[in-house]
Structure 1
Amino acid sequence: MTTSQTTDAGAALAAVEGIVGADRVTRGGLGDNTGLFRQRDVLASVKPGSAEQAREVVSAIAAARGAVSVHAFSTGRNWGLGSREPATDTVVALDLSDLTAIRDIDVAAGWAVVEPGVTQGQLAGLLADTERMVNVTVSTAHSSVLGNALDRGVGLRHQRVEDLVGLEVVLPDGELVHVGWWPEQDRKTPVYPHTLGPSLVQLFVQSNLGVVTGATIRLLPRPEALRVVRLNFTPDNLGAATDLLRRWVTQGLAAGVPKFYNPTAARGYGSAPGQFLLHVPVDGTEAAVAALSAIIAEEATRSGVFTEVSTTDATDPTAEHHAVTSLVERSYLGDPDVTDRVFEQKMGMRADQLDSDLGFLFFLPLLPFTAEAVVKAEELLARVHADTGILAGGTGNVLGADLVDLVVAMKFDRADARAAHRALDRLYELFSEQGFLPYRLDVDHHGWIDRVGGRPSARAFARRLKDSLDPTGVIAPGRYL
């Protein structure tokens, strides 16, 4: 930084302290991250106590004339992709975790207005024993609903970005705008995110065009009944199992997001070594669930593909996998389990220990939902293991008849960080060569956006929008723009 920039940055931080209080400004970096990514040059971390303070902080940074930029995060639990860490240096981190208000909610109409610090456990708890539920993820109950949705995280019902119907955004000049659907005091309108004209909500998903300080989230109808059919199979039947699962999805037998786990990932759910695991959720009325689960179980058994087929793990207290399957079913019904039992079983520790004690990386590509693609992806994971010694868990989230979100998770000893990051680099290379492109990036691979982020003309257009809205770079370059 030049002397002038240092002066402007210092003045901006002094102004920020005047807005939020000196006790809410911490000079220096953001601490450990579980991915062991390089720690960036963070001038300070600012923790506003309200959305209005967050807006004023952005305005104060804008006055610094490009000397420093804002990097915003919600609860900081973007594990495996960088946690709280920005993609670039010389930033002020805007920690929105204290913005925990559920400002408004209408259960009957199916919406809630939430701030970035609202966790899925918090919102789910408010909806307990109602006809509505949250589209939860299998991460900790203490993760942000809004932060994950803005990064296109995947819930157990669908991709969470589909739950965003309206956003409150602080633009780079400090102006506050509302886009999409927002509740009105004097009349009730249908919950519909697009309004007339261009649909603006998606402009602020995976972007640095503004800081989101609130959102209207869609609340989903809670099924009357739900069951998860649990199936195990050996690696040689991966293609056949994929074909069967796709048939059940395309013919409407499965609901929500069916999931398949390779043997490394399946161990977290109690499967025997060497076994793949498949969870097929069905929901609806009691009669529909009984009929659909029976059809799937009968077809699965008749196929000879599976080593284990069960529709009663959650309801039979004597079943070997009763405890974990019960929690899985509750998650599909919008209960993220505030005790984090499944999460801690998979990760081996509490959520608040990950950044300091665990080595953990994510790679998140999209696959065609075909047997050929799924088998090829598992072959690539085996190749990375052979090349680097890092064993990856693979969880396939089925997002419809044609698409799978593959969550590749690598837990590693922190002393092996170099090998783990080599494995991450190889995953980017090998999967991209096959056309299996990532839909989320980590902080060290944000430069890949021009390689895997769509056509050059689209990228150029996005940058023109950025330059127009934020000519001095008030909002820091992120992982996607």
Structure 2
Amino acid sequence: MTVLPETTAGHEASAVADLRAVLGKAAQVVGADRVTHPDDETHGAPVTTLGPNVGLYRSRAVFGVVRPQTAEEVRRVVELFAIEETSARLHAFSTGGNWGLGSREPAQDGAVVLDLSGLDLIRDIDVAQGWAVVEPGVTQARLARLLEGSERMLNVTVSSAHTSVVGNALDRGVGLRHQRVEDLTGLEVVLPSGELIRVGWWPEADRQTPVYAHGLGPSLVQLFVQSNLGVVTAATVRLLPRPEALRVVRLNFTPDKLEAATAEVRRWVSQGLARGVVKIYNEAAARAYDSEPGQYLVHVCLDGTREAVDALSGIVTVEAVKSGLFSAVSDTDASDPGAANHDVAVRVERAYAGDPDPTDALFEAKMGRPARRLDEEGGFLFFLPLVPFTGAALARADELIEQVRAETGMRCGATLNALSADVVDCVVTMKFARDGEEAERAHRALDRLYELFTAEGFIPYRLDIEHTEWADRLAAGTGARSFARRLKDAVDPHHVIAPGRYA
């Protein structure tokens, strides 16, 4: 007797039935009201359930959304997918505020989404030792509020106060003190098999150990940064010492002074005159901070004891005036109620001091709408390359941005975040209207930014969901990408966790 092979349709029907069965079991774990899946009218085909995204990237088709509320629920859901070996892969997000890079969207079609915003516990905190154990749904506003009046503070970002601490750190977001990945000391991770492990430093109930992320042997925390080797359900994050005093020196310079002025700022950073991340805004980005039209804006944070801040402020302002490069120099905007930029200056200083401003005043000024409406109403794209901190390199980056403007008509904002005396995180932003052809021009501009900057050696450190192939295109020929794939196959042989922007 000849046995005929199953038809493709038969395979598809079987796969859909298997997936529905797994989602049904997931509903028994998290509750039926916390699982969304295609209805009968779609005949099991994947449907878009995540809504719009502010970048106007193509909405991915997903097979369903599961919303666990505990690490144990995450573990059991992942274990279900590992056991059943469905064709759908799990894609996790924290709170979904990955604006400009894809928001909540997976990199590919056909995933089942794990929405981790319901994991929102601050499990433990030790102000004296300087750490907190937080879940992915914990926002920077909540953690910062808990630290008010204490000797510790959170390294906050200039994004919305209602974004995830853990999610941003895992994608190497930049805080006002340093890259937030440096704040990760330990991770709780559900592996693709459903096993829950902890890596790095974790608090022990019966003894106090020094907070040290690397431990003995290979350091494993970084394995789960920008990776799809597991689902992070909690992290131990550093809480930074709160300075006794803090002041932000505000400077302006004209575009023709870009190379010389940034070289002078670098000299201050290299000599230890500044604390935290020095920020330099081009004319478009500076508008949100009430800067003079046609001027670049610089924020230099100084902190320490009151005497140290007074001394450093005097040194920086004297150096700035003596250089002759700056059209305006002020260290009193936040302390002088009569200053034209007083309100903005106060908010900037508070952010450097660990207050992300739960009202989101600066964020809304930059974005034009509240965070909760951004994906539905806004138009916004990010490009995030690293540039050497030299006047010549930053001037070249500015030339490339102007070239993109000439080619596409898109005016880009640029914020230069000095991560050290050697490297700058160049945050290029594009805002656009959602209707008409402006969105198309913005995406064309984004493509050109990737092409021009990478050709110059200015490599992005974060990718959006439409440029995932650049992870391979930009990899040096050292075998690292091949090793990462072998590692993925070893840890996740059934590919339970969906490919992301970096793998």
What one-letter code is carried by the residue in structure 1 that aligns with 2:210? P
Preserved contact between residue 71 and residue 475 of structure 1 (Cα < 8 Å): yes
The CA distance in 2 between the partners of 1:353 and 1:190, in whole Å, is 42
Matches within 5 A, 1:51-450: 51-415=71-435, 416-450=438-472
How many residues align? The count is: 481
Whole-Å Cα distance in 2 between the matches of residues 454 and 83 of structure 1? Answer: 28
| CA distance 1:406–1:453, change in 2 (3 Å) | same
Residues of 2 paired with 1:323 and 1:294: CA distance? 23
Q: Offset of 1:65 from its aligned partner?
A: 1.1
Q: Secondary structure at the match of 2:345?
A: helix
State the shift of 1:456 in Å.
Answer: 5.0
- Counterpart of 1:241, as a letter, is A
- Which residue matches 1:8? 18
1:467 equivalent to 2:492? Answer no
How far does the alpha carbon of each residue in 1:49-99 deviate from its partner, in whole angstroms, 9 at most, with x for none? 211111111111222314111000000000000000000111011000011
> In the alignment, what sits opposite 1:24?
34
Amino acid aligned to 2:66: V
Whole-Å separation in 2 of the counterparts to 1:300 and 1:143: 35
Secondary structure, counterpart of 1:443 in structure 2:
coil
1:441 deviates by 0.2
Name the aligned partner's letter for residue 153 of structure 1: G
Paired with 2:338 and 2:75, the residues of 1 have a C-alpha distance of 54
Contact 1:438 1:452 in 2 (8 A): no
Q: Cα distance, 1:335 vs. partner?
A: 0.4
Q: By how many angstroms is 1:3 displaced?
A: 3.0
**34-43 or 48-57, larger mean C-alpha shift:** 48-57
Aligned residue type for 1:17: A
TM-score normalized by the length of structure 1: 0.99
Query: CA shift at 1:7, angstroms?
Result: 2.3
Superimposed CA distance per residue, residues 137-192 of structure 1 (whole angstroms, 9 cap, x where no aligned partner) = 00000000000000000000000000000000000010000000000011100000
Tell me the SS of whatever aligns to 2:468: helix
Larger Rg: 2
Q: Give, in whole Å, the separation in 2 of the partners of 1:329 and 1:64.
A: 52
Q: Among residues 473, 490, 500, which one is paired with 1:451 in the alignment?
A: 473
Look up the match of 2:3. Answer: none
In 1, Cα distance between equivalents of 2:364 and 2:263: 32
Question: Bigger CA drift: 56-65 or 342-351?
Answer: 56-65
The runs of 4+ residues in structure 1 deviating greater than 4 Å are none
The 1-side partners of 2:167 and 2:477 are apart by 26
Amino acid at match of 1:194: H
- Matched to 1:422, the amino acid is R
Shift of 1:8: 1.9
1:338 & 1:453 partners in 2: Cα distance?
39
- Residue 117 of structure 2 aligns with an amino acid whose one-letter code is S
Deviations 1:331-375 (A, max 9, x none): 000000001111111111111111000100000000000001100
Find the aligned partners of 1:139 and 1:259 in 2 and give their Cα distance.
14
Is the contact between residue 46 and residue 92 of structure 1 (CA under 8 Å) also seen in structure 2?
yes
Percent of pairs with identical residues:
64
Structure 1: how far apart are the matches of 2:77 and 2:388? 43
Query: 1:244 Cα deviation (Å)?
Result: 0.8
- Alpha carbons of structure 1 residues 421 and 456: separation in structure 2 relative to 1, 3 Å: farther
The match for 2:44 is none
Following the alignment from structure 2 to structure 1, what is the Cα–Cα distance between the partners of residues 86 and 404? 41
- Provide closer, same or farther for how the CA distance between residues 265 and 344 of structure 1 changes in structure 2, counting only shifts above 3 A: same
Give the distance between the partners of 2:297 and 2:345, measured in 1 at CA. Answer: 12
Further displaced range: 11-20 or 354-363: 11-20
Is the CA contact (8 Å cut-off) linking 1:12 and 1:63 kept in structure 2?
A: no
Structure 1: distance between partners of 2:86 and 2:424: 41
Contact 1:120/1:145 (8 A) holds in 2 = yes
Amino acid at match of 2:481: R
How big is each residue's C-alpha offset from its partner over 1:274-321, in whole Å with a ceiling of 9 and x where there is no partner? 110000001110011011011111111111111110000000000011
**Superposed CA offset, 1:178-212 (max 9, x none):** 00000001110000001111000000000000000
Write the deviation string for residues 400-448 of structure 1: whole angstroms up to 9, x where unpaired.
Answer: 1100000001000112211111000000000000000000000010111
Equivalent position SS for 1:282: strand
8 Å Cα contact 1:66/1:473 also seen in 2 = no
Separation in 2, partners of 1:453, 1:412: 31
Contact (CA 8 Å) 1:443, 1:479: kept in 2 or not?
Answer: yes
Q: Which amino acid aligns with 2:394?
A: V
Specify the alignment match of 2:43 in structure 1.
none
Which is worse superposed, 51-60 or 207-216? 51-60
Structure 2, unaligned stretches of length 5 or more?
Answer: 1-10, 38-46
Q: Which residue is 2:57 aligned to?
A: 37
SS of match in other structure, 1:444 = coil
Point out where structure 1 has 5 or more consecutive residues left out of the alignment. Answer: none
